[in-house]
A and B are shown apart, each in its own frame.
Chain A
Amino acid sequence: MASDKPTWKEYPMAATIHQPGSATGQNTGDWRSERPIRHPEKCDKCGICWIFCPDAALFMNEEGFYEVDLYHCKGCGICVRECAKGAIEMVEEGE
């Protein structure tokens, strides 16, 4: 039975993982039922949303605003709760 999975010889010894951060390939954004959307006009670029994200799913763009990495954001809503300016809001996925 042919398989596209590696043979025992093809795995790294002891299943040691040699690609640091290979987890970034995992689409954890698929877990969401709600999604954060930004209101940049209210944002003061304080970075509180960023420092409180357990998944490092926010990143600073060139203008200094924080964008959501939707491929990884799990929709927990911590950023929305902690934002002092109401510059992020949770909406239902699919909206």
Chain B
Amino acid sequence: MAEKTKSLDFIPRLLPPFELLAEGHRGCQGCGEALALRQVMKVAGPNTIICSATGCMEIITSPYPETAWRVPWIHVAFENAAAVAAGVEAGIKILQKRGRYREGRVNVIAIGGDGGTADIGLQALSGALERRHDFLYVCTDNEAYMNTGIQRSSSTPYGASTTTSPTGKESIGQQTPKKNLPKIVAAHDIPYLATACPSYPLDLMDKTRRALDTVGPTYLHVLSACPTGWRHAIDMAVEMGRLAVETGVFPLYEIVDGKLKLSIKMDKRKPVAEYMKPQGRFRHLKPEDIERIQQQVDEYYESLVYRAECDAGR
């Protein structure tokens, strides 16, 4: 038990008590995405406008007449959270110039799932980043199209079974590696991006703060465990996120003005099998599959360590 608190050297009760993502939303029991957004909102505060893509977070928080949002929020479509946010940001800019909107910077945050970001929303995201709008994009990544029934996305990890990449005699499940969205975002040379996980709330919240304080486009990629889609126990979302980090499957890092900095450097990582075992979506994998995945994870993690060392030296 004492081991767990090591990753949390802080006092949560000093964090802001307000809940801008209100209780009563219709998320599944133990939803990692809702937890992630709840933590983000504690940093963002009430001076925020949310532009949401269609997806789990949109559906569970806005069934008319119920809204879980205590900040202004707009949902337009699935693939355009970033484009809408670009419009909101630009609209406020011109209206403030003309004295038709109250003064002061407003946090404009676009939120989308992995589907709405890596796949159908990639164009809009790329455009908004390239045009250097002053906004934060938060991708809550539960690694599939969960809202519509667990179909694969380009963010589904290799070997995971989903309803459109099901495991079977002819298939291992997802046959291609997880699209590296932070890398794509980093290629736009934006001032700040980071990976985060709600299992590490202070880290996530620090990164949210840093992202919001940065003027220009910023990006947070948040791994959000999904008990329904990953097929693990409903009390395990935080543990799953923790294991994802501790095994190196989901490395935590920031890229600040092009320089990569690891958030936790782990010389010794837990074996990936420990992360995958509690999840039904990986149950079918054979030892050689897990070995292959272990190799891929190790390779990638080492490359990040190397990159971090190079960047530290620059």
Interface of A toward B, CB cutoff 8 Å: 15, 17, 19-28, 31, 45-48, 50-57, 60, 64, 69, 72, 74-78, 80-82, 84-86, 90
**Are B201 and A51 interface neighbours, CB within 8 A?**
yes
B162 CB–A CB distance under 8 Å: no
Given that A17-B62, A46-B11, A74-B29 are known contacts, is A52 also in contact with B23, CB under 8 Å in the complex? no
CB of B12 within 8 A of CB of A50, answer: yes
Q: How far is the CB of B3 from chain A (nearest CB, A)?
A: 9
Whether A56 lies near B23 (C-beta < 8 A) is yes
Chain B residue at minimal CB-CB distance from A75:
B29
Question: Is the beta-carbon distance between B15 and A26 smaller than 8 angstroms?
Answer: no
Say yes or no for B239: interface residue by CB 8 A criterion: yes
Interface members, chain B 17-71 (any A CB < 8 Å): 17, 19, 21-27, 29-32, 34-35, 38-39, 61-62, 64-71
Q: A22-B66, A56-B19, A56-B38 are in contact. Are A77 and B30 (CB under 8 A)?
A: yes
A78-B26 contact, Cβ under 8 Å, with A15-B64, A21-B70: no
Determine if A56 and B235 form an interchain contact, defined as CB atoms under 8 angstroms apart: no
A-contact bits for B120-138, CB 8 A (1 contact / 0 none): 0000000000000000000
Distance between Cα atoms of A24 and B24 in the complex (Å): 5
A52 with B201: in contact, given A20-B67, A46-B5, A47-B11 (CB under 8 Å)? yes
Q: Are A55 and B2 in contact (CB under 8 A)?
A: no
Q: In whole angstroms, how far apart are the Cα atoms of A42 and B237 in the complex?
A: 24
The docked-state distance in angstroms from the alpha carbon of A58 to that of B66 is 20
B234 proximal to A (CB < 8 A) = yes
Contact A85 B1 (CB under 8 A): yes
Q: How many residues of B contact A (CB 8 A)?
A: 46
Contact among B5, B19, B32, B69 for A48, CB-based, below 8 A: B5
Whole-angstrom distance between the Cβ of B232 and the nearest chain A Cβ = 12
B57-98 vs A, Cβ < 8 Å mask (1 yes, 0 no): 000011011111111000000000000000000000000000
9 A-B residue contacts at CB 8 Å? Answer: A20-B67, A24-B24, A26-B66, A28-B23, A47-B15, A76-B237, A78-B235, A81-B238, A82-B239
One of A20, A75, A76, A77 near B71 (C-beta < 8 A): A20
Q: Which residues of B in the span 211-227 have a Cβ within 8 Å of any Cβ on A?
A: 227
Q: Are A17 and B13 in contact (CB under 8 A)?
A: no
> Smallest CB–CB gap between B106 and chain A, Å?
16
Tell which of A20, A75, A84, A86 has the most Cβ of chain B within 10 Å. Answer: A20
Chain A residues lying within 8 Å of B66, measured Cβ to Cβ, are 17, 22-23, 25-26
A23 close to B15 (CB less than 8 A): no
A53 → chain B, closest Cβ, in Å? 7
* Contact (Cβ within 8 A) A54 B22: no
In the complex, which residues of chain A have a beta carbon less than 8 angstroms from the beta carbon of B64? 15, 17
A23–B35 touching, CB < 8 Å:
no
Q: Considering residues A21, A47, A69, which has the most beta carbons from chain B within 10 angstroms of its beta carbon? A: A21
| Contact present for A82 and B238 (CB under 8 Å) | yes
What separation, in Å, do the CA atoms of A56 and B235 have in the docked complex?
A: 15
In angstroms, Cα B22 to Cα A53, docked, is 12
Is there a chain A Cβ closer than 8 Å to B305's Cβ? no
